[in-house]
């Protein structure tokens, strides 16, 4: 499925709202993860201090990114890993394709990597005859169904088990079942074969630890371990922003990541990779390659939304956002949905095509409240809205209306005159004090609400009368 | 490729001069373990056992080395086993598994094992986690491929928190190929948020804690 | 001599529902304050600010800051969203203009949202009687922007006969969001729908909130549904209770 057209945000949102089954699924996932997150934080000692530490760990790294990237690279190289740098998705894919060619890899397995979605890595590898098999269960189903993930943590929340059963029946030629245990067992058996046969394992990274040159992966299924253990070549594709300086920093982040994402203290597997197998190791990959991707992150770093690079991809903001709850992940149109997506997508992909995203928020602040690293997403959405207006990407009629509003609202006499006209115009349209249809831009209001007709006298007029 | 490196680092450095990163400098690491009291072994053990049970691990506490060996034998019966090298397993647990597959066995033999038997490098009481660091005689496959993973823990390997473990073993972690924390059996809830165990990793994890030596 | 307070009435109160302003005055006067209304108020400028037109927002903000800075004493604001704008956003709008920033900070320090002000100065002076089941709606800028959580509930609790009923997902945004309500009407309406269903299921007779924007949105939706649940600003509720 190709990238959704950015300009179609409204249409996608409308479609999602009308999809009753999606609405039910979104209710379930957000309610479940939301309540688990709350319980997990309630049981964390020193929760506020830990969140502060995690925030400091990530933002400190973002603030020293240049120095830290060089140190990180040096440590990895010292342990026998190869480090590659890619400015664009095409470059990252080309690097990984070349690694596959140079190492004679024909079969690849992948554990979950959102960055690889950003770069469309799978298509690039398929083009040279290396089809990477997704091994995260949800991503495996997405791959089989030629679909796209709709939530950072629970990628197939938009599919029922019947959907999954049908996908497996069609694509794997197994008898149809909607029994979840059996579906998982099928996936386990199929993927076990892939793990053992694969030459190359491709993973993302949740964190990179600068002091020790360590890639950290958190998973629940075990596919992350398989992918980073069984094949002879391990490739890590990660964004340049994912660093923390010390193991203590990592510890703070690990204390909040699983709690925020799924409500667990820790995910089942926390894998720390610092190099290829050492002489004498019983198993492990012969080669470790780390591909560091920029793809717009350095541009984000240069501006007012640099803070978003501290995101640890837990998904908590999605689960609490009333907008996400209603429109789901696909409506955001790109790799990262929800509040974090609304900030990061314009930064990574360009403001102009994605100018609708920063406005897809009522600025309620629930995201900032739950974010484990306390990212101020509303502040960043407002900054992006300002950038959109400054770049003249808003309709000219709106810009003119705002200019007229500012002019009038700084001149009380004119303001009062304009108000008199506006109120009279509204009152004429009212029946029993209510207006049921408004024209133009205001049509959206009366789509679902009536509009209270304004009073005959303003507060100021009544106040003056009272004073006499 | 080095061009890309130079360009990226140049952009990053330039960006650091203009970007707004709301963090107080100088950065001071907050004390996330403030108020943490040191724990005696029996307290640590009690906490560890509680956490193991909460995450679905089966714990056994054996008061003797022979008890540990007998427990292992009882669990595995005559099923195929993949284990760490005998000299990496505590309490002589490897002695009764002399013919088991190990790191040197062919992969298909390893993959046929029903039980994986390992020791650990540390056991984290706060989270019920086992820390497994790669090294000679300690195949990762033993805690990953078989449907059941049996881990043998010595009480002196217990640590209260992951942070403690990191502080102690930082130098080792910086050079080991891999350190994995195992916190319970493999699981997924990707399909309709319904929990299923043992999707790729072991669906059953057993921890045997032996006596202090 | 009674303490003077300045009332920043807000544009919505002025244009749409002046009763709210009159109720605020009466409640404050009963407590023992003298209320002044600085002349020439128009708007805090938030619509332009939220839409990304910061220069336009600054034009309006300058006017508002100057007229408020000519006064002294506490500034009472019967709106969480305008309150948050004045307290948190105004100083940042003038980051590039230190003299104005200083004035903005001075004004910001004097501002209190209505329920916050009452709780700080005379929580026990609130009382009265009104039998009603109240669904309290915490507006987002009040709750998460200004950190005002308990004060409105405490005020409602002091009215004999009034019960605050729990509402499912009570702290979730109602979907107003200013221009969001028309620019993203589909999403706003979906969010409103959930809120209205939760309110109707709560058994409340009325919805009380500290923000007129939310009340217009919720009230407009309730009216469209033909609901008998009415909406009321906290000040109107307290005024009604005290008048009986």
pLDDT in tens, A306-325: 999 999 999 999 999 999 99
Instruction: State the number of CA atoms in the 13 A half-sphere of A27 facing the CB.
Output: 11
A137 and A272 belong to one structural domain: yes
Q: List chain C residues with CB under 8 Å of A447.
A: 185-186, 189
Alpha carbon of C124: minimum distance to chain A alpha carbons (Å):
27
Single out the residue of A51, A52, A27, A53 nearest to residue A260, CA to CA: A51
End-to-end CA distance of chain C: 27
Locate A142 and state its tokens: 């997405």
Any domain includes A6: no
Provide the Cα torsion A87, A89, A94, A95; round to 10°.
50
Q: Is residue B23 very low, low, confident or very high in pLDDT (cuts 50, 70, 90)?
A: confident
Alpha carbon of A159: minimum distance to chain C alpha carbons (Å):
22
Q: What is the mean predicted confidence (pLDDT) over B94-98?
A: 89
Query: Which stretches in chain A have pLDDT values below 50?
Result: 1-3
Task: Say if the Cβ atoms of B12 and A211 lie within 8 Å.
Answer: no
Surface of A (102-141) touching C: CB under 8 A: none
Strand order in the sheet with B178-182: A243-244, A207-209, A214-219, A269-273, B178-182, B129-133, B122-124, B158-159
If one counts every other C-beta atom within 10 angstroms of the C-beta of residue A354, the result is: 24
A94 and A237 belong to one structural domain: yes
Nearest 5°: the CA angle C231, A440, C172 is 35
pLDDT of residue B36: 77
pLDDT of residue B32: 78
Provide the Cα torsion A185, A187, A190, A192; round to 10°.
-80
Any domain includes B31: no
- Among the partner-chain residues C15, C57, C191, the one whose CB lies closest to the CB of A326 is C191
* C-alpha span between A399 and C48 (Å, rounded): 9
Any domain includes A31: no
The structure tokens 């997990």 sit at A40
Q: Which domain holds residue B56?
A: 40-209
Any domain includes A357: no
Q: Which residues contact B119 (CB under 8 A, 6 or more apart)?
A: B84, B88, B89, B90, B93, B138, B151, B152, B153, B154
Segment (H or E) for A460: helix A459-467
Any domain includes B151: yes
Single out the residue of A337, A390, A342 nearest to residue A158, CA to CA: A337
- Among the partner-chain residues A246, A247, A302, the one whose CB lies closest to the CB of B14 is A302
Any domain includes B18: no
For residue A3, give the DSSP letter: P
Last residue of a domain, one of A295, A322, A337: A295
- Among the partner-chain residues B12, B25, B29, the one whose CB lies closest to the CB of A66 is B12
If one counts every other C-beta atom within 10 angstroms of the C-beta of residue A404, the result is: 13
- Among the partner-chain residues C40, C180, C223, the one whose CB lies closest to the CB of A412 is C40
Task: List the subunits that have 3+ CB pairs under 8 angstroms with A.
Answer: B, C
Any domain includes A371: no
Give buried/exposed letters for A126-160 (b at 16+ CB in 10 A, else e).
eeeebebbbbbbbbbbbbbbebbbbbbbbbbbbbe
Q: List chain C residues with CB under 8 Å of A360.
A: 184, 187
Q: Number of helices (H) and strands (E), helices first, in chain C?
A: 14, 8
* C-alpha span between A327 and A341 (Å, rounded): 13
Q: Is residue B26 very low, low, confident or very high in pLDDT (cuts 50, 70, 90)?
A: low
Q: What pTM did the predictor assign?
A: 0.95
* C-alpha span between A112 and A218 (Å, rounded): 10
Give buried/exposed letters for A226-257 (b at 16+ CB in 10 A, else e).
bbbbbbbbbbbbbbbbbbbbbbbbbbbbbbbb
If one counts every other C-beta atom within 10 angstroms of the C-beta of residue B55, the result is: 18
Q: Which residues contact A255 (CB under 8 A, 6 or more apart)?
A: A44, A50, A54, B32
Alpha carbon of B29: minimum distance to chain A alpha carbons (Å):
6
Any domain includes A355: no
Mean pLDDT estimate for chain B: 93
Last residue of a domain, one of A277, A295, A313: A295
Single out the residue of A230, A1, A194, A228 nearest to residue A111, CA to CA: A228
| CA–CA distances in Å: residue C240 to residues B167, C132, C159 | 63, 12, 10
A291 and A401 belong to one structural domain: no
Is A278 an 8 Å CB contact of chain C?
no
CB pairs under 8 A between A and C: 195
| C with A: touching (≥3 Cβ pairs within 8 Å) | yes
* C-alpha span between C39 and C200 (Å, rounded): 41
pLDDT of residue C46: 97
End-to-end CA distance of chain B: 54
Task: Say if the Cβ atoms of C50 and A17 lie within 8 Å.
Answer: no
- What is the CATH classification number for the domain harbouring A154? 3.40.50.10420
Task: Say if the Cβ atoms of C216 and A452 lie within 8 Å.
Answer: yes
- Among the partner-chain residues A160, A184, A273, the one whose CB lies closest to the CB of B188 is A184
Task: List the subunits that have 3+ CB pairs under 8 angstroms with B.
Answer: A
Is A350 an 8 Å CB contact of chain C?
no
- What is the CATH classification number for the domain harbouring B75? 3.40.50.10420
DSSP assignment of A347-409 equals HHH-TTTTTTGGGS-----HHHHH-TT---HHHHHHHHHHHHHHTT-S-HHHHHHHHHHHHHH
- Among the partner-chain residues A52, A137, A284, the one whose CB lies closest to the CB of B190 is A137
The structure tokens 């009333």 sit at A322
Query: Which stretches in chain C have pLDDT values below 50?
Result: none
Task: Give the count of domains, chain A.
Answer: 2
Q: Which domains does chain C have, with CATH numbers?
A: 4-119 (3.40.50), 126-243 (3.40.50)
Q: Which domain holds residue A233?
A: 44-295
Instruction: State the number of CA atoms in the 13 A half-sphere of C24 facing the CB.
Output: 34
Strand partners, A83: A290
Single out the residue of A295, A280, A99 nearest to residue A201, CA to CA: A99
Provide the Cα torsion A298, A300, A304, A307; round to 10°.
-90
pLDDT of residue B39: 84
Q: Is residue B34 very low, low, confident or very high in pLDDT (cuts 50, 70, 90)?
A: confident
Alpha carbon of A403: minimum distance to chain C alpha carbons (Å):
6
Q: List chain A residues with CB under 8 Å of B170.
A: 211-212, 247
According to the 3-state scheme, what is the secondary structure of chain B?
A: CHHHHHHHHHHHHHHHHHCCCCCCCCCCCCCCCCCCCCCCHHHHHHHHHHHHHHCCCEEEECCCHHHHHHHHHHHHCCCCEEECCHHHCHHHHHHHHCCCECCCCCHHHHHCCCEEEECCCEEECCCCEEEEECCECCCHHHHCCCCEEEEEECHHHEECCHHHHHHHHHHHHHHCCEEEEECCCCEECCCCCCCEECCCCCCEEEEEECCCC
Q: Which of A281, A289, A373, A378 should be substituted to probe chain B, the one whose Cβ sees the most B Cβ atoms within 10 Å?
A: A281
The structure tokens 């106040």 sit at A463
The answer to whether residues A78 and A276 touch, using CB atoms and an 8 Å cutoff, is: no
A-chain residue closest to B187, CA distance:
A221
Single out the residue of C59, C113, C107, C110 nearest to residue C82, CA to CA: C113
Any domain includes B162: yes
Task: Say if the Cβ atoms of A56 and B29 lie within 8 Å.
Answer: yes
Single out the residue of B169, B93, B107, B186 nearest to residue B135, CA to CA: B169
Nearest 5°: the CA angle A221, A224, A229 is 125
Is A8 an 8 Å CB contact of chain C?
no
* C-alpha span between A386 and A380 (Å, rounded): 10
Single out the residue of C176, C173, C231 nearest to residue C200, CA to CA: C231
Alpha carbon of C211: minimum distance to chain A alpha carbons (Å):
13
* C-alpha span between A282 and B116 (Å, rounded): 14
Task: Say if the Cβ atoms of A360 and C184 lie within 8 Å.
Answer: yes
The answer to whether residues C78 and C12 touch, using CB atoms and an 8 Å cutoff, is: no
Single out the residue of A168, A113, A167, A157 nearest to residue A136, CA to CA: A113
Q: Which of C7, C21, C43, C53 should be substituted to probe chain A, the one whose Cβ sees the most A Cβ atoms within 10 Å?
A: C53
The answer to whether residues C53 and A389 touch, using CB atoms and an 8 Å cutoff, is: yes
Last residue of a domain, one of A249, A274, A295: A295
pLDDT of residue B150: 98
pLDDT of residue A2: 37
The answer to whether residues C165 and C207 touch, using CB atoms and an 8 Å cutoff, is: no
Any domain includes B11: no
The answer to whether residues C222 and A434 touch, using CB atoms and an 8 Å cutoff, is: no
The answer to whether residues C210 and C150 touch, using CB atoms and an 8 Å cutoff, is: no
Is A455 an 8 Å CB contact of chain C?
yes
Q: List chain B residues with CB under 8 Å of A75.
A: 174
The answer to whether residues A204 and A152 touch, using CB atoms and an 8 Å cutoff, is: no
Single out the residue of C76, C81, C65 nearest to residue C215, CA to CA: C81
């Amino acid at each position: 499925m190709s990238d959704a057209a950015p300009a179609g945000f409204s249409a996608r949102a409308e479609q999602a709202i009308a999809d009753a089954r999606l609405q039910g699924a979104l209710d379930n996932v957000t309610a479940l993860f939301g309540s688990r997150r709350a319980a997990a934080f309630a049981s964390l000692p020193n929760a506020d201090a830990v969140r502060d530490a995690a925030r400091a760990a990530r933002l400190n790294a973002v603030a020293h990114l240049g120095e830290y990237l060089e140190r990180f690279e040096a440590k990895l190289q010292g342990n026998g890993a190869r480090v590659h740098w890619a400015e664009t998705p095409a470059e990252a894919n080309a690097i990984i394709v070349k690694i596959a060619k140079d190492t004679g890899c024909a079969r690849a397995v992948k554990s979950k990597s959102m960055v690889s979605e950003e770069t469309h890595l799978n298509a690039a590898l398929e083009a040279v005859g290396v089809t990477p098999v997704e091994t995260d269960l949800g991503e495996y189903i997405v791959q089989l169904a030629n679909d796209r993930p709709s939530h950072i943590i629970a990628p197939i929340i938009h599919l029922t088990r019947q959907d999954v059963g049908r996908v497996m029946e069609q694509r794997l030629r197994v008898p149809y079942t909607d029994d979840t245990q059996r579906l998982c067992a099928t996936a386990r058996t199929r993927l076990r074969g892939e793990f053992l046969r694969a030459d190359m394992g491709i993973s993302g990274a949740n964190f990179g630890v600068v002091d020790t040159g360590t890639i950290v992966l958190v998973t629940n299924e075990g596919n992350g371990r398989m992918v980073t253990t069984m094949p002879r070549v391990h490739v890590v594709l990660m964004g340049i922003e994912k660093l923390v300086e010390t193991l203590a920093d990592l510890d703070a982040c690990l204390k909040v990541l699983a709690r925020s994402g799924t409500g667990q203290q820790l995910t089942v597997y926390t894998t720390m990779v610092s190099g290829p197998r050492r002489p004498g190791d019983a198993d492990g990959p012969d080669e470790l390659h780390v591909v560091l991707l920029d793809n717009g992150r350095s541009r984000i770093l240069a501006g007012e939304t640099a803070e978003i690079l501290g995101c640890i991809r837990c998904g908590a903001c999605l689960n609490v956002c009333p907008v996400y709850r209603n429109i789901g992940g696909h409506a955001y149109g790109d790799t990262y949905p929800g509040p974090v997506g609304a900030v990061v997508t314009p930064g990574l992909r360009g403001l102009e095509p994605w100018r609708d995203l920063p406005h897809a928020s009522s600025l309620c602040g629930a995201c900032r409240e739950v974010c484990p690293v306390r990212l101020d997403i509303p502040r960043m959405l407002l900054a992006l809205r300002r950038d959109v207006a400054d770049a003249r990407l808003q309709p000219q009629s709106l810009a003119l209306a705002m200019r007229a509003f500012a002019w009038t609202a700084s001149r009380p006499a004119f303001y009062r005159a304009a108000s008199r006209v506006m109120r009279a115009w509204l009152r004429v349209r009212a029946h029993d004090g209510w207006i049921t249809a408004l024209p133009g831009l205001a049509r959206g209001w009366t789509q679902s609400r009536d509009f209270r007709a304004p009073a005959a006298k303003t507060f100021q007029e009544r106040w003056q009368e009272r004073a006499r | 490729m080095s061009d890309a490196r130079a360009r990226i680092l140049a952009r990053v450095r330039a960006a650091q001069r203009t970007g707004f990163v709301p963090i107080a400098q100088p950065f001071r690491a907050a004390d996330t373990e403030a108020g943490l009291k040191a724990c005696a072994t029996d307290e640590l053990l009690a906490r560890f056992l509680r956490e193991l049970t909460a995450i679905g691990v089966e714990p056994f506490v054996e008061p003797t080395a022979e008890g540990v060996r007998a427990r292992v034998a009882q669990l595995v019966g005559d099923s195929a086993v993949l284990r760490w090298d005998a000299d990496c397993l505590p309490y002589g647990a490897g002695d009764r598994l002399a013919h088991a597959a190990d790191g040197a066995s062919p992969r298909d033999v390893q993959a046929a094992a029903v039980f994986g038997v390992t020791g650990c490098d540390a056991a984290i009481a706060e989270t019920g986690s086992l820390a497994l660091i790669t090294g000679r005689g300690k195949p990762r496959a033993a805690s990953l491929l078989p449907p059941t993973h049996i881990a043998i823990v010595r009480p002196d390997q217990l640590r209260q928190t992951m942070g403690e473990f990191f502080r102690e073993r930082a130098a080792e972690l910086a050079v080991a190929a891999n350190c994995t924390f195992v916190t319970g059996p493999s699981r997924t809830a990707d399909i309709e948020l319904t929990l299923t165990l043992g999707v790729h990793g072991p669906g059953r994890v057993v921890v045997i804690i032996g006596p202090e030596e | 001599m009674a303490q003077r307070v300045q009332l920043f009435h807000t544009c919505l109160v002025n244009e749409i529902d002046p009763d709210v302003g009159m109720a605020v005055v009466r409640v404050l006067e009963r407590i023992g304050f003298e209320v002044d209304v600085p002349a020439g108020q128009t708007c805090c400028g938030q619509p332009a600010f939220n839409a990304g037109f910061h220069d336009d927002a600054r034009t309006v903000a300058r006017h508002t800051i100057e007229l408020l800075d000519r006064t002294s004493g506490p500034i009472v604001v019967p709106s969480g969203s305008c309150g948050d704008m004045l307290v948190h956003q105004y100083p940042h709008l003038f980051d590039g203009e230190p003299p104005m920033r200083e004035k903005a900070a001075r004004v910001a320090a004097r501002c209190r949202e209505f329920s916050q002000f009452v709780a700080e100065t005379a929580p026990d002076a609130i009382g009265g009687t009104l039998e009603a089941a109240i669904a309290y709606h915490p507006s987002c800028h009040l709750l998460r922007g200004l950190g005002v959580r308990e004060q409105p509930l405490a005020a409602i609790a002091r009215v004999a006969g009034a019960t605050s009923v729990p509402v499912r997902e009570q702290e979730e945004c109602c979907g107003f969001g200013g221009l969001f309500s028309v620019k993203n009407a589909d999403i706003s309406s979906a969010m409103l729908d959930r809120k209205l269903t939760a309110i109707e299921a709560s058994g409340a007779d009325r919805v009380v909130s500290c923000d007129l924007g939310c009340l217009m949105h919720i009230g407009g939706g309730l009216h469209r549904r033909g609901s008998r649940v009415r909406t009321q600003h906290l000040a109107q509720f307290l005024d009604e209770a005290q008048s009986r």
